[in-house]
Structure 1
Amino acid sequence: MAADLTPDPIQTPRRFFDSTRLTQPGYGTVLLFIGIAYISCAWQKTTDPAEFALLVQLATIWAIFHATNARPRIRQLGTIVLLFCALATGIVWIFGYTGTITTTVMTAASLILYGVAPAAIVRHQAARTKVDGQTLLAIICAYILIGMFFTFAFGLAGLHSDLFGLGTQTTLSTALFFSFTSLTTTGYGNLIPATELGQTLAIMEVLTGQLFVALGIARVVTSWLPRRAS
Structure 2
Amino acid sequence: MGSDNTERTRATPPKRKRGGLRWLSGYPLVLVFIAGSYWVTAFQDTDNLRAIVLLIQLVTVAIVFHTVRLRRSIQRVSWWVLGSSMVLSIAVLISGLVSQTLDVVLAIAVTLAYLVAPVVILSTELRRQKTDQQTLFAVVCTYLFIGMFFTYFYHALALWTPEPIFAGGQPDHLTNIVFFSFTTLTTIGYGNMIPAGAGVQSIAIGEAITGQLFLIIAVAHVASGWSHALRNPTQ
| Fold similarity call, TM over 0.5 | yes
Match of 1:147 in 2: 147
State the alpha-carbon separation in 2 of the partners of residues 31 and 132 from structure 1: 16
State the alpha-carbon separation in 1 of the partners of residues 216 and 89 from structure 2: 40
| Structure holding more helix per residue | 2
State the alpha-carbon separation in 2 of the partners of residues 210 and 95 from structure 1: 43
Match of 1:65 in 2: 65
Which AA in structure 1 matches 2:197? T
Unpaired segments ≥5 residues, structure 2? none
**Residue 39 (structure 1) aligned with residue 39 (structure 2):** yes
RMSD, aligned α-carbons: 2.8
State the alpha-carbon separation in 2 of the partners of residues 220 and 53 from structure 1: 33
State the alpha-carbon separation in 1 of the partners of residues 134 and 84 from structure 2: 32
State the alpha-carbon separation in 1 of the partners of residues 72 and 105 from structure 2: 23
- Answer yes or no: is the 8 Å Cα contact 1:55–1:82 preserved in 2: no
Gap change, CA 1:18 and 1:130, over 3 Å in 2:
farther
- Answer yes or no: is the 8 Å Cα contact 1:139–1:216 preserved in 2: yes
Gap change, CA 1:33 and 1:126, over 3 Å in 2:
same
**Residue 198 (structure 1) aligned with residue 211 (structure 2):** no
Match of 2:125 in 1: 125
Q: Deviations over 1:137-168 (max 9, x none)?
A: 11100000010110011111111330003622
Deviation at 1:106, TM superposition (A): 1.5
Which AA in structure 1 matches 2:135? T
Which AA in structure 2 matches 1:121? I
- Answer yes or no: is the 8 Å Cα contact 1:88–1:102 preserved in 2: no
Match of 2:115 in 1: 115
State the alpha-carbon separation in 1 of the partners of residues 210 and 146 from structure 2: 8
Match of 2:105 in 1: 105
Work out the number of aligned pairs and report it: 218
Name the SS of the counterpart of 1:158 in structure 2: helix
- Answer yes or no: is the 8 Å Cα contact 1:114–1:146 preserved in 2: yes
Q: Deviations over 1:13-56 (max 9, x none)?
A: xx9x9949x9xx41111101111111111111001121111121
State the alpha-carbon separation in 2 of the partners of residues 97 and 127 from structure 1: 43
Give the structure-2-normalised TM-score: 0.82
Unpaired segments ≥5 residues, structure 1? none
Deviation at 1:94, TM superposition (A): 4.3
Deviation at 1:102, TM superposition (A): 2.1
Match of 2:171 in 1: 169
Q: Deviations over 1:109-163 (max 9, x none)?
A: 1111211111111112112222111111111000000101100111111113300
State the alpha-carbon separation in 2 of the partners of residues 180 and 73 from structure 1: 34
Which AA in structure 2 matches 1:208? T
State the alpha-carbon separation in 2 of the partners of residues 212 and 146 from structure 1: 10
Gap change, CA 1:18 and 1:94, over 3 Å in 2:
closer
State the alpha-carbon separation in 2 of the partners of residues 71 and 170 from structure 1: 39
Deviation at 1:93, TM superposition (A): 4.1
Give the structure-1-normalised TM-score: 0.84
Which AA in structure 1 matches 2:158? G
State the alpha-carbon separation in 1 of the partners of residues 96 and 225 from structure 2: 55
Identical positions, percent = 37
Match of 1:222 in 2: 224
Q: Deviations over 1:153-194 (max 9, x none)?
A: 111111133000362221122111000000100000001100
Gap change, CA 1:62 and 1:179, over 3 Å in 2:
same
Deviation at 1:97, TM superposition (A): 2.6
State the alpha-carbon separation in 1 of the partners of residues 80 and 188 from structure 2: 37
- Answer yes or no: is the 8 Å Cα contact 1:51–1:89 preserved in 2: yes
